[in-house]
């Protein structure tokens, strides 16, 4: 019975890793669609977000069922509770990639990002992808050292977010209110994406150690 329980627990963890890969792919594609006004790619990201939602719902049902059948205690119960919260974070990260893709679709055939901000947004997308890949590794390996490092990785995304706002607040901003609102929202989507990844890393740390990671 214990072997079967841990096989199911491993299956839940593997699904979380798979979700992280899907979310990473969604963010990479959404960023590309945003920067290149690729409507078909944006539509693909929007459509595939339903798959992420369905996997998350099935995973939560599986986790709750396992809790009800096995009535785990101590570290096993902690792992299952944390899994529910991590799946919610991953689903939300998928939603944020979905929002970025919708921004690309809304402004098509124009590119939603002004020329002088293309590099900053490209860097934000790359930073988000780097963070998401590491998140998948953290979930898979339960490496607490990597979990603690992720918050520092997120600092790069926060720095780029601030850089974007500096450009938007420049009195010489030439692109009008509508574009400024677009870029404010887009920047927020990337920033929140990183925050959810940090949340997952902290949950893994708690799952392994039973203690909350302290903020530096």
HEC profile of 16-28? HHHHHHHHHHHHH
Q: What is the pLDDT of residue 23?
A: 98
Distance CA(78)–CA(183), nearest Å, equals 39
6 falls within a domain: yes
Q: 193 near 130, Cβ under 8 Å?
A: no
Q: What is the pTM of this model?
A: 0.95
Domain of residue 47, CATH code:
1.20.58.220
Mean pLDDT of 10-20: 97
215 falls within a domain: no
- pLDDT at residue 2 is higher than 80: no
136 falls within a domain: yes
41 falls within a domain: yes
pLDDT band at 214 (very low <50, low <70, confident <90, very high): confident
Q: What is the pLDDT of residue 73?
A: 84
Total number of residues shown for the chain: 216
- pLDDT at residue 1 is higher than 60: no
Longest dimension (CA), the chain: 67
Residues 80-114: pLDDT tens digits? 999 999 999 999 999 999 999 999 999 999 999 99
- pLDDT at residue 216 is higher than 80: no
216 falls within a domain: no
Domain that holds residue 184: 2-209
HEC profile of the chain? CHHHHHHHHHHHHHHHHHHHHHHHHHHHHHHHHHHHCCHHHHHHHHHHHHHHHHHHHHHHHHHHHHHHHHCCCHHHHHHHHHHHHHHHHHHHHHHHHHHHHHHHHHHCCCCCCCHHHHHHHHHHHHHHHHHHHHHHHHHHHCCHHHHHHHHHHHHHHHHHHHHHHHHHCCCCCCCHHHHHHHHHHHHHHHHHHHHHHHHHHHHHHHHHHCCCCCCC
Mean pLDDT of the chain: 95
Nearest one of 2, 172, 33, 49 to 113, comparing CA atoms: 33
Q: What is the pLDDT of residue 106?
A: 96
Residues 116-172: pLDDT tens digits? 999 999 999 999 999 999 999 999 999 999 999 999 999 999 999 999 999 999 999
30 falls within a domain: yes
Distance CA(33)–CA(101), nearest Å, equals 7
Structurally, the chain folds into a number of domains equal to: 1
214 falls within a domain: no
137 falls within a domain: yes
Percent of the chain whose pLDDT exceeds 90: 92
Q: Which of 18-27, 31-40, 65-74, 116-125 bottoms out in mean pLDDT, i.e. has the lowest?
A: 65-74
């Amino acid at each position: 019975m214990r072997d079967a329980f841990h096989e199911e627990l491993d299956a839940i963890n593997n699904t979380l890793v798979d979700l992280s890969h899907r979310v990473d792919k969604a963010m990479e594609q959404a960023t590309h669609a945003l920067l290149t006004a690729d409507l078909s790619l944006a539509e693909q990201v929007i459509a595939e977000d339903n798959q992420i939602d369905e996997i998350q719902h099935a995973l939560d049902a599986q986790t709750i069922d396992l809790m009800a059948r096995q009535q785990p205690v101590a570290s096993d119960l902690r792992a299952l509770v944390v899994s529910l919260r991590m799946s919610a974070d991953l689903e939300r990260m998928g939603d944020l990639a979905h929002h970025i893709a919708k921004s690309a679709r809304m402004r098509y055939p124009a590119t939603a990002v002004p020329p002088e901000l293309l590099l900053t947004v490209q860097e934000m997308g790359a930073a988000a992808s780097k963070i998401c890949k590491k998140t998948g590794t953290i979930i898979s390996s339960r490496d607490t050292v990597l979990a603690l490092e992720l918050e520092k990785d997120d600092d790069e995304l926060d720095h780029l977010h601030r850089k974007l706002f500096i450009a938007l607040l420049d009195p010489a901003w030439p692109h009008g209110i509508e574009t400024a609102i677009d870029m404010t929202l887009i920047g927020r989507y990337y920033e929140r994406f990183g925050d959810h990844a940090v949340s997952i890393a902290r949950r893994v740390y708690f799952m392994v150690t039973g203690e909350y990671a302290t903020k530096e």
